[in-house]
Amino acid sequence: MSDIQLIPTHAEEDGIYTEGREGHGHIKSYVRRAGRMSSAQENYYAEMMPKIGLVYAPQAIDLAAVYGRNSPKILEIGTGMGETTAKIADTNRDNDYLGVEVHTPGVGALCKQIAERELTNLRICQHDAVEVVRDMLPEASLDGVHVFFPDPWHKARHNKRRLIQSPFVALLASRLKPGGYFHCATDWEEYAHQMLEVLSAEPTLINSAEGFAPRPEYRPLTKFENRGLRLGHGVWDVIFKKR
């Protein structure tokens, strides 16, 4: 079982941990929640992670070797409880997907989806996304990046913890192949504008739309999103391509 534990070295305001490994220093965009796993999640986690889990190591990996084929490779950061990730992988079996998620109940839920759908094109790395991208993914190795509904950190003093910041966007862009895409989605309007601003400022990326993009068919509506839309809440998609 590859249950990778991120051990914080110190906590800041509101119990937000900023460093999981000495010397890395980047601000964490997540809080480690102590959510409980159901028995089904525990069982699928124990069964599936040895088969489809990628263990973090500070060395580059060969994605074609991981999946056993040459096919488009898509990174999804923050898979949540895995329903959307699994649907995308199920619908697009010609693509290979790597989901990065730190929270064990969500990883267990995604393991269950992978087993039930018999997905062979989806892997999970349970580790900090910045470190995974920086240390494990070679330059120009990805055909796409998904960042769907990341934590908006809506309090002004916490905005610096948002995942979509210029340094990380530049890092992700370097991992995209020419013509690869970078797709963000959020239901927090102010964050949507920040996403648009930050991605527009990255010189290696170009907007695929004039401003926000329509939701592409490959991104399914989540139950949470459908409920929000019924209540009149907005959702914004931002899709850029590598020059």
Residues known to be catalytic = 151
Q: Are 199 and 240 in contact (CB under 8 A)?
A: yes
Q: Name the DSSP letter for residue 198.
A: H
Q: What are phi and psi of 212, to 5 degrees?
A: -80, 155
**Which string of b and e fits 141-160 if b means at least 16 CB within 10 Å?**
bbbbbbbbbbbbbeeeebee
- The strands making up 96-100's β-sheet, listed across from edge to edge, are 122-125, 96-100, 73-77, 142-148, 176-186, 236-242, 205-207
Token pair for 90? 């199920």
Three-class SS state of 8: coil
Q: Which residues contact 151 (CB under 8 A, 6 or more apart)?
A: 29, 30, 161, 162, 163
What string of DSSP letters covers 58-92? SS---HHHHHTS---EEEEE--TTSHHHHHHHHH-
Asked whether the CA dihedral 76, 73, 180, 213 is positive or negative, the reply is negative
